[in-house]
Each structure stands twice: as structure tokens, then as C-alpha cells.
Structure 1
Amino acid sequence: MNTWVHALLKPEPVALMVLLVLLGSLIQGMKRGASGSARRLFFFIWQAAAVILSLLLAGRVAKWLSPLLKNRLIQSGIEVPQEQLGAWKQLWYTLVTSLRDFELLRLGVLFLISYLLLRMLLGWLEPLCGLLFQTLANSREDRGEGSEKLLSKTASRTTGAAIGTLLGAGRAFVIIAFLFVYVTVIPGGPLTESIRASAFYNKTADELLDPVAGDVLRRGPVFTEAVGVEFRRVLQRKYEVIDANVPEDIGQAAAAVTSKAKTDKDKARALYDWVGSRIAYDWDKADNYEQHGIWKEQTPVDTFNTRLGVCIDVARLYAVMGRSAGLEVRVVTGQGATGSGYGPHAWNEVRLADQGGIWIPLDATWASSGDWFNPDGFSRTHIRET
């Protein structure tokens, strides 16, 4: 016990947060008195039990419903129409086909819906349980001629403070459990080093949490990566639905993408938005080159068909589509800012013939991180080769 107290009294953020929770709960308990604190503790335990029960049941329900929903969607024969779709139809076909084809998304959606319904159901029972608790408490007070009448105000506050401290310990445990999940699932996230440096956190995690949940949560980073992959697949499906009527030929696709553009800048911007959102960065190709020196050469047609590529592939595809749409485009190579320095990079420059022939820079590879269509200060992050 002394080691727990010693760890808690060390001046560091996690211990300070726990102390504040305990102190706040103690003060609340003193104000509420014995009966008010007991009622608060009852609802805290009820809500915690409701969350745990809902999570367990939602997992089972989602696992049971997932194959049934998949088969139902397959039997429905839903296919994306090869035509221009409105926003609501795009959303509908993206959702339905993604639920049909992506298991992790399907499980996640069913789990979330099941959990919310179960929590709603248990939420309806909460007032009834609270009423039952109050009835029992009043009955005990009547039999004892009222505990608040017999006990002095000081005794009631002391009892309330003790119950409040117990409630605070429960709240503190929930906080530590949340931090444990966060550090385990996202080991490189913000503040993880500060959390791991806490003696109180380490003692709680090592002795109480890790023996129970450690094996499950150590698979957290793998699950997080799987969620990231699934999200990218859903995002790609979204663009597949939007582009259902875009021709498979690069030249025809460029014409379709720029069909509503009136100026060269409008054309360049439309192609930037399309290429920047449709082509996913090929991390496997980049890692294979950086770690093993193996380079996978690909043509703009390969990039267009696979919707994957690194910066040079994106820049080459943009150039081909831009020229097909009547623009003068060049591929520029050099160094791009990485956050810790500069590394090899490629981007584009487009000539706006209807604006005096000026050249503007753009970087479709970086489109997902911001607007890199001729922004101010482009040259500070992009250094072209001489």
C-alpha cells in the first residue's frame, strides 16, 4: 500500500490528475452527505456495468449479423450505375457496396449500432433502478428512524466523503484504463512518453491492467493499422462510385474531368483535385526502394489503372492528363520538405496560356495534406533541381 501512495505523491502529470479526481470526489461526497454519495456511487457502478454489458453483447450481435448482412447485400445484386450520380446516390452506393465488400467496416457499423441500441435499452432501465434504490434507502431510513436524523451532520459528511473517495478511485481507475488503451494501441502518439514516465501509471498498468487485457491490447497496433487500411479502401470505393462514368482511357478521362472548366487554370485545378484525391500513395513501393534498393517502374497508364503511385508516378500521370486536356505541363524533380529536412520529390508546373503564358506550380501528391495548387511560399518547400 505504501508503494501505491508513494507513487501517487510523486509530482508528475498523471499522479496529479488522479489526486485532483480523488480530491474533487471527496469534496463532492462531503457536500452530498451519506445518502447522496451512496446514490451517486450506485449510478456510477450501474453505468459502468451497463457499458461493459453493452460492449460484450454488441460484439456478439455484430459477429452474428455480419455474414447475414453480407449475404443479403450480395443477393440484392446492387451494382454502381455507369452514369453521373448525384451526391445522395454517391453516398448510398458507397455505403452499401462498402458494407457488402469490407468486413471490418461491416463489423464496425453493426457493433456501433448494436451498442447504441443496447445502451439506450439499459438507459431506459436506469431510472427504474434508481427509484428502486431510493425506495430501499428510504425504507432503511424509516426502520432506523432516519439515518440522517440519528447521525450528526459531521458523521453524515464523513461517511459521504468516504463514499466519494471510493467513487473517485473508480473514476481514477477508468482514466488510467483509458490511458493504458491509448498507450498500447497508439504507442507513438502524443504524450505517450510522458504517460509511460509516470510511476503511478506504471504500477497500476503492470499490476492491475496488463495481466487482464495486455494480450488483447498488444494486438492493438495491428488492429489500428487494419482500420487505416480499411478506411483507405472505403475512401477508394467512394471515388470509384463518383468516377463510375469516367472513361477508362486516360485521354477521355481527362476530357471528362475538365469538361466544365472554362479557363486553363480551371482545367489545371480540376485535374489537380482529381489526381490528388484518386491516386493513393504507394508506401510499399517507397519502402521497397528505400530499404532494399528495388525500384518498380510504372507508366502513367499503370498509375491510372491501379490508382497507386509515388510522387514521380503522380506527376507523370498529371502531365499526361493535362496534355490530353490541351495544357502545357512539365514534370519537375528536386527536393521536397519532409518535416525534418528535405528528400527527393517530384511535382508539376502548368502553363496558363490564357493568362499571358505564366507557369504555376502544383503538387498533387501532397493534395491530401493541404492545398498545394500554386500556394504562396511553394518554393520554400519545393527546391527544383538545377
Structure 2
Amino acid sequence: MSDIEWLQPTFPVNLVTVVLIIIVLVSVLQGATRGATGSAQRFMQFAAEGAATVVSVIVAWKLAAVLSPVVEEWLKSRQIVYPDEELGLFRQMYYTFVTGIRDFPLLRVGTVFVLAYTACKAILLRLWLFIAYGAGLMGKSPAGGGGRSWMSSGVGGAIGTLIGCGRALLVIACLFVYTALFPESPFTRYVQASTLYAEGAARVVEPAGGELLQQRLPVFAKAVEQEFSQILQRKYEVIDARIPSDIAEAAKQITAGKETDEAKARALYQWVGTRVQYDYDKVEQYEQKRIWKEQTPEDTFATKLGVCIDYSRLYAVMARAVGLDVKVVTGLGSDGRGGYGPHAWNEVFLADNNEWVPLDATWVSSGSNWFNPQGFDKTHIRDA
């Protein structure tokens, strides 16, 4: 049974339709309670907020497009490097975020957009309030409801209906975005079964840009997913920026005489995979007692014990010590029985071939080749 199938026998009426009706009815009730004057003021405020939102989105989008290259160039000119020392949590977050803005275009555009949108909307709303109060449009509405006439309540209810319809359309627009991103999900089918949603989407959202959203949103979401995965890996570059001298010396000895990037990368892959032993006690401690023993690449190098993330972090530090560009990748790895579990591995850049290739030093003990084999992505699924 899917996540939403249980709703249908329990609630014979579509809940999306019910929620949209409730939104409108509550707004009508609020309008009738406020009366004509209070509802008119609330409607002007609602319209002003809507207009400010639209204008702020347009302005912020334009500013993000203009300022993003400027921010990128400025951050590159700062020549930010990770300190060769152990970093605390907040410094790790700082370097991950700042270098992420520098290197990842969607994160940079998104950050500039959010800042510009927030500033623009705050300015516009304050300007509106200044004008509204100056013109007497936002004075106090009559207190209490005992002396309010039926006509005033009726007008207020009518205005509340307009506000309620506007709120319902906002909800429909949000649901439309969800259905565009996840067209095959059970919840999408449930949403689309709502007659009110279907009417609002067909008559308002789609004519206002729905077709563009349906075409572009999935592509944009995929790009965001890929970039977010890269940002997740950046943290290991930050926390493992310091290369201990004993690890650097070992890496140089292991790769001595190796002329190509691939030869160096393979030598380190073989060394880490055969020298480090899998720490089953660490896994048992976590699975049974939820105790996680965090360890640095230096700990792994010294003890020659670790789990997949420890293999991967040690490999990355050793690879960087000999000038290789390398990433720690997290995700899911095949358990060999048709299932998957949390796993970590590496990707290394081979300048000779101008390509990134995957490798899994943890699985060297299996006896198979896990340095850029065919079908690697069938047994390894990146985090997203």
C-alpha cells in the first residue's frame, strides 16, 4: 500500500480539496469579523505583500545574474586556502560555505538571490507602510464586533473571499511545483485528483507560467541535486586540509618512480586497501550501542584500522600529498545480497586523461579490481 492509499477509505473526500475550502472559509470568517474597514486594510496589506514579493523576485533574479560573476571573481582574488591546522566546527562550516559559494554556481546564485530578495522585500514593505500610514490607509479598524452592521460584515466577508482565493492559489502554486518535480509520486496523483486544485492549476498557474515550470523545474532540480552532492563532499576537503608529515612522507615513498597520475593513484589505492584492516568492532559499537568513534586520517594511518569513510579520508590525504586532486564521496554501496548500505569511496582526477575516475579502497580485500572498473555506478550510489 502506498503512502497515501490509506487516506482514500478513511477520507472519501480529497483532503487537498478540503484544505483549500477551509482556507477560503477561514478567510471569509476573518473578513466578516473584521468588517468592511478592517478587511479593506487587510486586503491592501495582502496585495502589497504580493506585489512586493513579485517585484522582489524579479529584482533579486536580475541582481543575482549580475552580481554572481562579481562575487566569484572577488572570492577567487582572495585566494582562500584551508589552514594547515585542526579546525573547529564553526571554522569548518565557514570554509565549506565560502569556498562553496566561490566554486559552485547554483549555490552562489542562490545565496545572492536570497540576500537580494530579503533586502528588496523589506525595503518595499517598509516603503508601503510609510505611504499607507501617511495617507491614513492603515488606521485602526473599529474594535470589537458588537456594533458592526450586517452590511459591514457582508462587505468584509466578500473581501475575505478574495483574500482566501489568493491564499488558496498560493497553496495550489506550491503543490504545482511539487507535482512538476515529482510527477510519478503517489502524492502527486492524489493532488491532481482534487477538482479544486485542477481548476486552479489549469486556469491560473499554468497560464501564468506552468508550462515553463514543468519543463525547467526537473532539469533545475537535477542540477541542484548534483551540486549539493559536491558540496557535501567539500567538508572532507576542509577538515582534512592538514597533511601530517608522516602521511606525506609515506605517500611520496609509495608513489616514488610513478610518472603518471594514474600510476600514483593506483599505487595509493593498493596500499591503503591492503594495509588498513576493516574495523568490525567500530561497526558493532555503532550498530548496537549507537556509539560512533570519529577518527582522523592520522588515526587511521597509525592504527591501520577503520571503516569505509576512514579508508576514503586517508586515501584523499595521501593523494593530495603527492599532488593529486581527489574527492571523498559518500552514498550507498551494494551489500552483495541485492541491498545497499551507507558507504564512502573516492574519485581522483587523472590529468593525463583529463577525467575523474572512481575507486574504492575499502573493497580491495574482496580480491576484485575497484579502481575505475566498468559498472562502478551499479554498486555505488552517490548521496543526493
TM-score bucket (shorter structure): 0.5 to 0.7
Shift of 1:74: 1.9
Q: Map of 1:123-134 to 2, 5 A cutoff?
A: 123-132=125-134
Paired residue type of 1:202: A
Shift of 1:228: 0.7
Indicate if the aligned counterparts of 1:282 and 1:308 stay in contact, CA closer than 8 A: no
* Partner Cα distance (2:362, 2:122) in 1: 50
TM-score norm. by structure 2 comes to: 0.64
Structure-1 residue corresponding to 2:291: none
Structure-2 residue corresponding to 1:327: none
* Partner Cα distance (2:72, 2:301) in 1: 44
* Partner Cα distance (1:82, 1:265) in 2: 23
Structure-1 residue corresponding to 2:337: none
Indicate if the aligned counterparts of 2:61 and 2:113 stay in contact, CA closer than 8 A: yes
1:160 and 2:156 correspond: yes
Candidates 310, 320, 323, aligned match of 1:271: 310
Candidates 84, 90, 93, aligned match of 2:92: 90
Paired residue type of 1:195: V
1:177 and 2:173 correspond: yes
Structure-2 residue corresponding to 1:305: 348
Cα 1:270/1:260, change in 2 over 3 Å? farther
1:44 and 2:41 correspond: no
Deviation digits for residues 124-152 of structure 1, max 9, x if unmatched? 2343244246x2587xx9xxxx9xxxx97
Structure-1 residue corresponding to 2:235: 238
1:209 and 2:259 correspond: no
* Partner Cα distance (1:102, 1:213) in 2: 27
* Partner Cα distance (1:128, 1:194) in 2: 44
* Partner Cα distance (1:11, 1:20) in 2: 13
1:115 and 2:117 correspond: yes
SS at match of 2:198: helix
Shift of 1:112: 0.8
* Partner Cα distance (1:275, 1:34) in 2: 70
Structure-1 residue corresponding to 2:74: 72
Structure 2 spans left out of the alignment, 5+ residues: 1-11, 252-267, 277-294, 316-326, 335-344, 350-355, 369-377
Indicate if the aligned counterparts of 2:23 and 2:164 stay in contact, CA closer than 8 A: yes
* Partner Cα distance (2:52, 2:42) in 1: 15
Cα 1:129/1:244, change in 2 over 3 Å? same
Shift of 1:318: 1.7
Paired residue type of 1:51: T
Structure 1 spans left out of the alignment, 5+ residues: 1-9, 287-301, 321-329, 334-344, 347-364, 370-386
SS at match of 1:208: helix
Indicate if the aligned counterparts of 1:70 and 1:100 stay in contact, CA closer than 8 A: yes
* Partner Cα distance (2:34, 2:233) in 1: 55
Structure-2 residue corresponding to 1:291: none
Q: Map of 1:1-386 to 2, 5 A cutoff?
A: 11-132=13-134, 135-136=136-137, 153-189=149-185, 191-217=187-213, 218-246=215-243, 249=251, 250=268, 251=271, 257=296, 259-260=298-299, 267-268=306-307, 271=310, 274=313, 278-281=328-331, 303=346, 305=348, 309=358, 314=360, 317-318=361-362, 331=366
TM-score norm. by structure 1 comes to: 0.63
Paired residue type of 1:53: V
Pairs aligned (count)? 292
Paired residue type of 1:223: F
Shift of 1:113: 0.8
Deviation digits for residues 12-52 of structure 1, max 9, x if unmatched? 22222221112111111111111111111111111111111
SS at match of 1:78: coil
* Partner Cα distance (1:137, 1:112) in 2: 29
Cα 1:269/1:237, change in 2 over 3 Å? closer
Cα 1:270/1:281, change in 2 over 3 Å? closer
SS at match of 2:159: helix
Moved more, 243-252 or 64-73: 243-252
* Partner Cα distance (1:79, 1:259) in 2: 21
* Partner Cα distance (1:28, 1:262) in 2: 67
Paired residue type of 1:78: I
